[in-house]
Structure 1
Amino acid sequence: MKTFKDKVAAITGAGSGIGQALAIALAKQGCNLALSDVSETGLANTVALLQAFPVKVTTQKVDVATRDEIAAWAKTVVEQHGKVNLIFNNAGVALGSTAEGVSYEDLEWLIGINFWGVVYGTKEFLPYLKQSGDGHIVNISSMFGLTAQPTQSAYNASKFAVRGFTESLRQELDIENSGVSATCIHPGGIRTNIAKAARMNNSVTSLGMDPAKSQDAFDKLLRTPADEAANLILNAVQKNRRRLLIGADAKAVDAIQRLFPQGYQKLFATATALQARFMN
């Protein structure tokens, strides 16, 4: 896909962060938009930012963890726009907890959004993307889909799953030569609201960590502007890249994993323990 002009892009989690930045970047290039989010207020804020662009914008409140809602939205998008060329499975949440301390309810909540939301978005939109003859699937993993970290077992599991799902999908699409492709995105710390909205439980105290201080520290690591991330993602789509690392932190994590495929775990555990001691 060399141009986004007159294409139709569907974006989940479009009410803020990367999703909102993608909507603005695509509108600037003449791409029509179908936006979804669980927050109607967030969607309204995004729509207000798009008023200066002569593109068609539709919105729908969607819980990506609910298959029927994604399926209904995909059908509605095609009815409203006549086609759909891109799906950005961007919606995601975060959770800080030990593997032992995480509740099944929180685990199911996070996996439902971060993984099943990607699966539903991919599968429900894929037939329509094939009908367009020029389609692309963009699934947002994370640098936490490259390596695992203490207190992030649930998040790591979801983002590793997105990576595996998308890489397998891309190979199948290559074989089919159907006019649809896929890219897996591994952002580092992007300046969004994900840290402030993250769930954090007291199980991390068993590792010597303070939940509130840990959440603040996480927020301070979010350095890359969302609009910069969006532009890099769109460039990766145009170049039909298989994966994209965003930020120096993601590139560093990837390098560490390549150099120390087992040893990185001890390195990260030591760093986490030292950080907890320093914050206390």
Structure 2
Amino acid sequence: MYALHGKVAVVTGAGSGIGRALARAFAHKGCRLALADIDGRSLSETAAMLPVPAFTQTLDVADRAAVFAFADAVKREYGTAHVVVNNAGVALSQTLERLDYEDFEWLMNINFWGVVHGTKAFLPLLRAQNDGVIVNLSSIFGIITVPTQGAYHAAKFAVRGYTETLRQELEGSGVFAVCVHPGGVRTNIARHARHYVDSMGNTDPARAAAQFERLARTSPDQAAREIVAAIERRKARVLIGADARLLDWIQRLFPTSYPRILRAMLRRMRT
């Protein structure tokens, strides 16, 4: 078991959703907290909810220099870090044919490069003390694919490969890496997405967000509890939600034909 009490937990994207829930969960485990989010107001709201003080900083994880400066600030504040959760992320819905480079780069800079920046900035601290955890948020969309989510898939598959490689390279040390694959979690990610069209041809962002929220069955608090439990148990791979576990098995059993099965399942759920 990895003991969390007294450890310094760093969470990006802590202004809402899973990040906010993780801040609460770590606080109740007795962690000292370093929280970041691009939305300073939401971040302040998270800090106000906590039973303990937290170090907070407004941060764009796509900005490499800013992420390294954040790591330096955490070191000045606490002397070190132990648990680093690279959670910040955004969504984008568009066909690959029509997807423009600006949108693709926007998503990759946050969802993939943000993970890389956070890992590279904090890993030396963890290595120096031979104690710590890097937790990177992939997605069930880092395991399966659906139309119009190509950019998101590209980032989340990349996070999966990056984290699984990191885990192997850290074997034998006191530092380990966890890759998290949430299914549908009731967060605001769809509300804040760049939405052009979905797999059903829908171009209305509000309708798409409402559809996502209807299908998302896991609460952020439940996701956070499962992530914290995985850290404590030193689990390498975490599937969050019954939907993620089901889709993972469908992909394993039907590696090339699962898209047809998913389409049939989605049609039934929407009727």
- TM bin, normalised by shorter chain, reads over 0.9
Q: Post-superposition shift, 1:5?
A: 1.0
1:194 pairs with 2:189? yes
Deviations 1:112-166 (A, max 9, x none): 1000000110111100111233200000000111100111101111111100000
Q: Is the 8 A contact 1:150 1:269 kept in 2?
A: no
Q: What code does the residue aligned with 1:17 have?
A: G
Q: 1:267 aligns with which of 246, 261, 266?
A: 261
In the alignment, residue 216 of structure 2 is paired with which amino acid? L
Q: 1:220, CA displacement in angstroms?
A: 1.5
Q: Which amino acid aligns with 1:101?
A: R
1:133 maps to which of 121, 130, 135 = 130
Matched-pair contact (CA < 8 Å) for 2:195–2:203: no
1:208: Cα distance to partner? Answer: 3.4
Q: For residue 182 of structure 2, what is the amino acid of its counterpart?
A: P
Which residue of 240, 244, 256 corresponds with 1:246? 240
| SS of 1:138 mapped into structure 2 | strand
| Cα distance between partner residues in 2 of 1:95 and 1:26 | 29
Paired position in structure 2 for 1:208: 201
- 1:195 partner letter: A
- Which one of 87, 93, 96 corresponds to residue 96 of structure 1? 93
Q: Secondary structure at the match of 2:133?
A: strand
Runs of 4 or more, structure 1, over 4 Å off, are 269-272
TM-score by length of 2: 0.94
Q: CA deviation at 1:270?
A: 5.5
Q: CA deviation at 1:178?
A: 2.4
For 2:14 and 2:201, the matched residues in 1 are separated by 36
Q: Which has the higher helix share?
A: 1
Residue 187 of structure 1 aligns with an amino acid whose one-letter code is P
Shift of 1:4: 1.1
Distance (Å, rounded) in 2 between the aligned partners of 1:66 and 1:271: 39
How far apart are residue 57 of structure 1 and its match?
1.4
What TM-score comes out, normalization by structure 1 length? 0.91
Q: Alignment RMSD, CA only?
A: 1.8
Displacement of 1:232 in angstroms is 0.7
Q: Which amino acid aligns with 2:147?
A: P
CA 30–46 in structure 1, closer or farther in 2 if over 3 Å, else same: same
CA distance in 1, matches of 2:209, 2:31: 36
2:73 is aligned with 1:76: yes
Counterpart AA for 1:252: L
Identity within the alignment, %: 50
The 3-state SS of whatever aligns with 1:5 is coil
- Distance in 2 (CA, whole Å) between partners of 1:270 and 1:223 is 19
Matched, 1:183 2:178: yes
Question: 2-side partners of 1:214 and 1:256: how far apart?
Answer: 24
Q: Do the aligned partners of residues 199 and 275 (structure 1) sit closer, same or farther apart at CA in structure 2, a change above 3 Å counting?
A: farther
Aligned partners of 1:263 and 1:81: how far apart in 2?
50
Asked if 1:219 corresponds to 2:213, the answer is yes
User: Secondary structure of the residue that 2:239 maps to in structure 1?
Assistant: strand
Instruction: Describe the shift of the 1:124–1:72 C-alpha distance in structure 2 as closer, same or farther (beyond 3 A).
Output: same
**Residues of 2 paired with 1:209 and 1:228: CA distance?**
30
Letter in 1 for 2:35: L
Give the CA deviation at 1:228: 1.0
**In the superposition, relative to structure 1, how do residues 269 and 228 fare at CA in structure 2: closer, same or farther (>3 Å)?**
closer
Matched position secondary structure for 1:195: coil
